[in-house]
Amino acid sequence: MTHGSSSPRTIGVEGLSRVEGEGSLRVVVHDGQVTDVALEIFEPPRYFEAMLVGRHFTEAPDITARICGICPVAYQMSACAAMEDACGVTVDADVTSLRRLLYCGEWIQSHALHVYFLHAPDFLGYADAVELAEHDRATVERGLAIKRTGNLLMETIGGRAVHPVNVRVGGFYSAPDPAAVAALADPLRRAREDALATVEWVSGLEFPDVTGDYRFVALTEPGRYAVEGGRPSSSDGLNVSPGEFARLVVEEHVERSTALHARLGGHDEYLTGPLARYALNSSVLSPLAAEAAAAAGLGPVCTNPFQSIVVRAVELVFACDEALSLVDAYEPPDPPAAEMIPRAGTGTGATEAPRGLLFHHYEIDEEGTILNARIVPPTSQNQITIEADLRRVAQDGLDLSDDDLQWRCEQAVRNHDPCISCAAHFLDVNVVRD
Amino acid sequence: MVVAGLGHEYRRDDGVGPLVAARAAGLTEAAHDVGPLADPLDLLGRWDGASLAIVVDAVRSGAPPGTIRLVELEPGATAVGGNSPTTSTHGIGLAGVFRLARAVGQAPARVVVVGIEGEDFGRGPGLSPAVEAAVPGAVRRVADLIKGAGSCA
């Protein structure tokens, strides 16, 4: 890299670390101005969409779960919701509650992973969680303990901690034993205490003073924090059905990128994920989570992307709290799954993955064969907004050294916990400037 | 004793780890298959305190496809196989996870990596012919390790 004034200065990050999956980042600075920002993302859902065509509608949850090792439940839940929509089936409240409990397990796993192992090292100047553990063992042990509780929940409800095997269209293959569910209460209480300590810990980190002008989009549900269902809503008044939302989201191919870029109505960029969920749902957080948010200094809306780590920690408290309530109220669904009779038609399912709104849209025939599949993960919806964040952060940080600017840019990407995974975790990062 | 396969069945040769681990663990009750795992970090909480953890993973080191390599992780290892941290197909290195586990006192006594050189990490199910042909041998190596008859090259 050079610092002359005539040729472009490119900051190229060939290995964007601590982001799940594959991707690369390129920032070009010319004459003191950021002239180009490109976050390249490999999007596995595109491949899975093609693979689903011709498969039976009941296979969608298990196939799409393999898209991501971090958020398989999100893929399963959105697939189930879409197929049930297509078949005109509404599942029982007990099934919905059990799904919400399983989903809490995934939020706990995923948020603990991101907060402690992927994001916190950025703020503390450590290269990774290994260094953090070597300097602060107790803190990392706390993160591991929280994550382990998420694993336990997934194992108990889903039959396996990674890629649960108990989920089916219509509900579950079997209802977990009430005694096994009741046994989750003590670990969840400990995890809730640890989550509260997490909020206190991350709220004391030092955050760059950055404000994003975001159009937030998240699911909302009357009276409760949306997780496994709800209506897509926005901070500027949108409130539509998942099917209508799928019609509004237009994805376009950008020549320089292999990723599709999503816009609402074909023109408006937006942001999904914890900041959006919190902005649209903070009034219905559980009292304990709301108290933790207030103590951390969060108002009803947080627009500093670097503080997303605090919002995730608050959602950790919420997920533990909500899971405890669901465990206390657990009634085994009987039957564990609704009867599913396929019919020709289309269906859309939208749920809140840890990283944001994830929707599936399918067309099936009368035999239940999938004719078309569309899977839109939160990261592709956030792509344009993440690049806008990068542009702002890079411009504000031009006085930094190349290494520090690269660090800051990577951190700006990790703020949104992009899930660009599909497991063969290669990642390329690039920054260029003149 | 635990066995874990790392990898993704829809990324061609990346799927060899879980396949070999499941077959080898299926031959005996002496080892528990804790996979398939998508990420080395998922080993935390699953291999804690094991006398021996056998991790089966696809690797990319430049050796001929299907080459099987056994590496015992040293406590201070920064990468598997002595090459770059990206020798593994996973960005979060296995060696890093071992160091992390040691730092928090949750590491297994021994970690042996059974690496199978991959050739095709593209999208789709199924292994390339050379890697497919290496599966029986890799299963035997894992089974030998489980029986305590294996040795690390």
Q: Could you give the maximum distance between any two Cα atoms of chain A, in Å?
A: 71
Residues from chain B contacting residue A44 (CB–CB below 8 Å): 10, 123
Q: For residue A335, what pLDDT is reported?
A: 97
Rounded to whole angstroms, what are the CA distances from A25 to A19, A406, B121?
Answer: 11, 10, 21
Residue A356: CB partners within 8 Å, gap ≥ 6? A218, A271, A272, A273, A274, A276, A277, A378, A379, A381, A382
Average pLDDT, stretch A222-239?
96
Q: What is the pLDDT of residues A106-160, one digit of tens each?
A: 999 999 988 998 889 889 988 888 889 989 999 999 999 999 999 999 999 998 7
Q: For residue B10, what pLDDT is reported?
A: 78
Q: For residue A426, what pLDDT is reported?
A: 28
Q: For residue A118, what pLDDT is reported?
A: 84
Q: Which of B33, B39, B89 to mutate to test the interface with A (most CBs of A within 10 A)?
A: B39
* Average pLDDT along chain A: 87
Q: Please determine, for residue B87, whether its predicted confidence score (pLDDT) is greater than 50.
A: no
Q: For residue A367, what pLDDT is reported?
A: 97
State whether B91 and A425 contact (CB < 8 Å). yes
**Where do the domains of chain A lie, and which CATH numbers do they carry?**
44-376 (1.10.645.10)
Q: Please determine, for residue A62, whether its predicted confidence score (pLDDT) is greater than 50.
A: yes
Average pLDDT, stretch A83-107?
97
Q: Please determine, for residue A316, whether its predicted confidence score (pLDDT) is greater than 60.
A: yes
Range with lowest mean pLDDT among A246-250, B67-71, B82-86? B82-86
Give B59's strand partners: B88, B117
Average pLDDT, stretch A247-256?
82
Residues from chain B contacting residue A147 (CB–CB below 8 Å): 44-45
Q: How many CB atoms lie within 10 A of CB A206?
A: 7
Q: For residue A256, what pLDDT is reported?
A: 61
CB half-sphere exposure, B20, CA atoms < 13 A = 35
Q: For residue B60, what pLDDT is reported?
A: 82
Task: Work out the percent of chain B whose per-residue pLDDT is above 70.
Answer: 85
Contact yes or no for B107/A410 (Cβ under 8 A) = no
Output the CA angle B54-B55-B56, nearest 5 degrees: 115
Give A252's strand partners: A261
Please, which pLDDT band fits residue A11 given cuts at 50, 70 and 90? low
Closest CA to A349 of A57, A21, A44, A102: A57
Residues from chain B contacting residue A20 (CB–CB below 8 Å): 39
Contact yes or no for B97/B128 (Cβ under 8 A) = no
B45 min Cα distance to partner chain A (Å)? 6
Question: Rounded distance, CA A380 to CA A387, Å?
Answer: 11
- The 10 Å CB-count burial string (b at 16+, else e) for A56-76 is ebbebbbbbbbbbbbbbbbbb
Q: Please determine, for residue A18, whether its predicted confidence score (pLDDT) is greater than 70.
A: no
State whether A44 and B123 contact (CB < 8 Å). yes
State whether B39 and A148 contact (CB < 8 Å). no
Q: Which of B14, B42, B127 to mutate to test the interface with A (most CBs of A within 10 A)?
A: B42
Q: For residue A35, what pLDDT is reported?
A: 85
Residue A224: CB partners within 8 Å, gap ≥ 6? A284
State whether B121 and A425 contact (CB < 8 Å). no
Q: How many CB atoms lie within 10 A of CB B129?
A: 12
The one-letter amino acid code at B17 reads: G
Question: Rounded distance, CA A234 to CA A279, Å?
Answer: 9
Q: How many CB atoms lie within 10 A of CB B43?
A: 27
Task: Work out the percent of chain A whose per-residue pLDDT is above 90.
Answer: 61
Please, which pLDDT band fits residue A9 given cuts at 50, 70 and 90? low
B45 touches chain A (CB under 8 A): yes
Range with lowest mean pLDDT among A83-92, A107-116, B33-42? B33-42
Q: For residue A425, what pLDDT is reported?
A: 30
Question: Rounded distance, CA A415 to CA A409, Å?
Answer: 10
A273: three-class secondary structure by DSSP: coil
Q: Please determine, for residue B89, whether its predicted confidence score (pLDDT) is greater than 50.
A: no
Q: Please determine, for residue A1, whether its predicted confidence score (pLDDT) is greater than 50.
A: no
Q: For residue A420, what pLDDT is reported?
A: 54
Q: For residue B78, what pLDDT is reported?
A: 57
Q: Please determine, for residue A7, whether its predicted confidence score (pLDDT) is greater than 60.
A: no
Q: What is the pLDDT of residues A371-424, one digit of tens each?
A: 999 998 888 888 889 888 888 888 888 888 888 888 888 888 888 877 654 323
What would the CATH number be for the domain defined by B2-122+137-147?
3.40.50.1450
ipTM tops the 0.95 cut: no
CA dihedral defined by A420, A423, A426, A430, rounded to 10 degrees?
A: 10
Q: Could you give the maximum distance between any two Cα atoms of chain B, in Å?
A: 41
Q: For residue A22, what pLDDT is reported?
A: 53
